[in-house]
C-alpha cells in the first residue's frame, strides 16, 4: 500500500474466517456436524482487525480513511455482514474477533447518567458493532452456490472435463498414498480431503508427525485446482451473487453524501475464488488461483486520485496471518482501476435478486424460490380466473379484492408475501438472528 496523495474514501474488506475445528461424524458424507472457531482462529482474526486498524483507522497512516472516526465507532460509517451458512458460527465469530481488533475498547466510550454518574462501556469501553448475520435461506448473496442446480450441473461437467480427468490421472499415484492419513475417507480428486488433513495437521500432533513432509502442500495444490475450477467461470456463482452488494458498498463509499467508509464481509473461501477469476486478478497473478489461508483478506480501497477524476479501486490482498498486504493488478490493466470500469466489467454476470437467482439456478423450491414461484402461479391463476369470470374462486391472495383493483391487489399481495418471507431483502437488513445454518460444501476440499 504505497503512499500517495490520493484521498482514501474508504475500504471494503473481505476476510476469510479463522482457524476452526470440525468433528467429522457422518461416515457417508463426512459432513462436519459441529465446527467451531478455535482460540487460534480468534487470534488470527483479532490480529487482522488490529492490522486493518493500523492501516485505515490510524490518523498517521498514509491510508487513513478520510473523515472516519477511528476511536469512537460511528455506526453509519461501518457496515458488517457475516455469512451464517454451513460453517455455523465460525464465520460470524470471526467477524466478532476481527471487530474487537479493529475497534478496541476506548475509555471515552462512556455515558453521563441523569444522577451524575459517568459509566464506561463493558470490557474497558469496548464498542459493539452490529453484525448482520446473512442467513442463506433468506439471502442468497453470500452462498449463491448451494441449492443451485445450474452450479451442480457445472460442477459435474467440470469433473467430466478432459482437463479434470487428466489431473485425476496425474494425481492418482499421490492419492493412493493418502488412505492411512484419512481415517477411512474415500480418496478421489472430486472429494479432496485437504480440509480434513489441514485441520488434523494443525491440531493433532500424532498426525502432524506422521504425515510425510510434502503431502499437505500436494493436497492443497490439488484442492486449489479443484476449487478454483469449481468456483471460477463460467459459473462463478459465489462471485456473481456477492458482487451486487460489494458494488453497492463501493459506490456508497465513493458517494460523498453517503456516510459509509468501512464495509466488511466475513466469508468462507469460495467467494474469493470466484472474485479472483471475475476481476481477472487470478489471470494476471496465477498464484491467486487457489484456496486462500485462514484470515486471508482482500482490501478494496476506494481512492479519490489527487489529480481529480472519478474514484478508483486499489486491489490489496493478504494471504493470512503472518503475510503482508500486497497490491495486485487486475482487470487486465496495471494499477488502480476506475470504479465504473469494475462495475462495467462484472455487470453482465451479476445475479441481482433472489428472483434472478431462482431463474439462473433453476430452483423453484429453496431459499425463497418456493414463495416466489407460488406467488407467481397464484398471480397467473388469479389473472386467468379473472378473465373467465370465476371471481369467487380466485387464489387466496386475491380473495376479497375483486373487480377493477384485482391485478393491483394480487400484485400487492404478492409483494407482501415476498417481503414477509424476506426474499425482497437484498442486504442492509441489520442484525438478523443467528441461526445454526444450512448445508455448505466447505468440507469438500
| 154 versus 401: smaller Cβ distance to ligand NAG | 154
Compute the distance between CA of residue 101 and CA of residue 123 in angstroms, rounded to an integer.
13
| 229 versus 244: smaller Cβ distance to ligand NAG | 229
Nearest to 226 by CA among 183, 180, 194: 194
Q: Hey, is 96 helix, strand or coil?
A: helix
8 A C-beta contact, residue 340 and residue 42: no
| 268 versus 292: smaller Cβ distance to ligand NAG | 292
DSSP state for residue 310 in the 8-state scheme = S
Smallest distance from the beta carbon of 237 to ligand NAG, in angstroms?
13
| 200 versus 232: smaller Cβ distance to ligand NAG | 232
Compute the distance between CA of residue 55 and CA of residue 419 in angstroms, rounded to an integer.
40
| 223 versus 253: smaller Cβ distance to ligand NAG | 223
Smallest distance from the beta carbon of 329 to ligand NAG, in angstroms?
13
Work out the angle between the directed axes of helices 39-56 and 90-102 (0-180°, nearest 10): 40
Instruction: Kindly report the backbone phi and psi dihedral angles of residue 319, in degrees, each rounded to the nearest multiple of 5, phi listed first.
Output: -90, 50
Smallest distance from the beta carbon of 411 to ligand NAG, in angstroms?
38
8 A C-beta contact, residue 91 and residue 266: yes
Smallest distance from the beta carbon of 230 to ligand NAG, in angstroms?
9
Smallest distance from the beta carbon of 219 to ligand NAG, in angstroms?
11
Smallest distance from the beta carbon of 232 to ligand NAG, in angstroms?
4
140 Cβ contact list (under 8 Å, min separation 6): 241, 351, 354, 357, 367, 368
How big is the CA angle at 324 (ends 321 and 329), to the nearest 5 degrees? 125
Q: Which helix (H) or strand (E) holds 9?
A: strand 7-16
Query: Beta strand 312-318 with 297-304: parallel, antiparallel or unpaired?
Result: antiparallel
Smallest distance from the beta carbon of 28 to ligand NAG, in angstroms?
29
Smallest distance from the beta carbon of 318 to ligand NAG, in angstroms?
9
| 19 versus 139: smaller Cβ distance to ligand NAG | 19
| 295 versus 312: smaller Cβ distance to ligand NAG | 295
Smallest distance from the beta carbon of 213 to ligand NAG, in angstroms?
15
The string of DSSP codes covering 244-304 is: HHHHHHHHHHH-TTS---EEEEEE-SHHHHHHHHHTSHHHH-GGGSSPPPTT-EEEEEEEE
User: Over the Cα atoms of the chain, what is R_g?
Assistant: 24
Smallest distance from the beta carbon of 273 to ligand NAG, in angstroms?
10
Nearest to 318 by CA among 56, 22, 38, 35: 56
In the numeric block, which cell numbers belong to residue 240?
456473481
8 A C-beta contact, residue 187 and residue 223: no
| 35 versus 235: smaller Cβ distance to ligand NAG | 235
| 229 versus 398: smaller Cβ distance to ligand NAG | 229
Residues that bind ligand NAG (CB under 6 A): 113, 115, 117, 220, 224, 229, 232-233, 277-278, 280, 283, 287-288, 290, 292-293, 319
Compute the distance between CA of residue 243 and CA of residue 238 in angstroms, rounded to an integer.
9
| 289 versus 409: smaller Cβ distance to ligand NAG | 289
Amino acid at each position: 500500500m504505497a503512499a500517495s496523495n490520493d484521498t482514501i474514501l474508504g475500504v471494503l474488506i473481505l476476510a476469510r474466517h479463522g482457524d476452526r475445528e470440525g468433528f467429522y461424524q457422518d461416515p457417508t458424507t463426512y459432513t462436519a456436524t459441529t465446527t467451531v472457531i478455535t482460540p487460534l482462529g480468534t487470534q488470527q482474526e483479532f490480529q487482522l482487525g488490529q492490522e486493518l486498524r493500523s492501516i485505515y483507522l490510524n490518523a498517521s497512516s498514509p491510508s487513513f480513511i478520510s473523515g472516519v472516526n477511528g476511536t469512537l465507532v460511528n455506526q453509519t460509517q461501518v457496515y458488517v455482514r457475516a455469512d451464517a451458512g454451513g460453517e455455523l458460527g465460525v464465520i460470524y465469530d470471526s467477524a466478532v474477533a476481527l471487530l474487537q481488533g479493529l475497534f478496541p475498547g476506548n475509555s471515552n466510550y462512556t455515558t453521563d447518567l441523569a444522577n451524575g454518574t459517568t459509566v464506561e462501556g463493558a470490557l474497558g469501553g469496548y464498542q459493539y458493532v452490529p453484525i448482520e448475520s446473512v442467513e442463506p435461506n433468506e439471502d442468497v448473496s453470500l452462498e449463491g452456490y448451494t441449492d443451485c442446480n445450474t452450479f451442480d450441473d457445472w460442477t459435474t461437467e467440470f469433473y467430466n472435463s478432459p482437463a479434470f480427468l487428466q489431473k485425476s490421472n496425474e494425481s492418482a499415484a499421490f492419492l493412493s498414498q493418502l488412505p492411512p492419513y484419512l481415517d477411512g475417507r474415500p480418496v478421489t480428486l472430486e472429494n479432496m480431503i485437504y480440509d480434513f488433513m489441514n485441520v488434523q495437521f494443525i491440531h493433532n500432533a500424532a498426525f502432524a508427525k506422521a504425515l510425510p513432509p510434502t503431502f499437505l502442500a500436494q493436497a492443497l495444490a490439488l484442492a486449489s485446482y479443484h476449487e478454483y475450477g469449481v468456483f471460477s467461470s463460467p459459473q462463478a456463482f459465489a462471485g456473481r451473487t456477492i458482487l451486487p452488494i460489494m458494488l453497492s458498498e463501493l459506490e456508497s463509499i465513493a458517494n460523498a453524501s453517503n456516510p459509509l467508509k468501512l464495509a466488511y464481509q466475513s466469508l468462507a473461501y469460495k467467494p474469493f475464488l470466484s472474485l479472483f477469476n471475475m476481476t481477472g486478478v487470478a489471470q494476471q497473478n496465477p498464484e491467486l488461483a487457489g484456496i486462500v489461508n485462514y484470515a486471508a483478506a482482500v482490501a478494496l480501497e476506494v481512492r479519490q486520485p489527487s489529480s481529480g477524476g472519478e474514484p478508483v479501486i486499489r486491489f490489496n490482498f493478504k494471504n493470512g496471518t503472518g503475510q503482508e498486504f500486497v497490491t495486485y493488478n487486475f482487470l487486465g490493466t496495471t494499477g488502480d482501476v476506475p470504479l465504473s470500469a469494475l462495475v462495467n466489467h462484472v455487470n453482465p454476470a451479476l445475479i441481482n435478486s433472489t428472483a434472478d437467482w431462482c431463474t439462473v439456478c433453476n430452483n423453484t423450491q429453496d431459499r425463497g424460490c418456493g414463495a416466489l414461484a407460488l406467488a407467481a402461479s397464484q398471480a397467473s391463476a388469479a389473472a386467468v380466473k379473472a378473465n373467465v369470470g370465476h371471481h369467487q374462486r380466485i387464489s387466496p391472495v386475491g380473495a376479497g379484492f375483486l373487480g377493477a383493483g384485482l391485478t393491483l391487489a394480487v400484485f400487492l399481495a404478492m409483494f407482501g408475501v415476498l417481503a414477509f418471507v424476506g426474499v425482497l431483502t437484498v442486504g442492509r437488513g441489520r442484525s438478523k438472528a443467528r441461526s445454526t445454518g444450512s448445508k455448505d460444501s466447505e468440507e469438500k476440499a
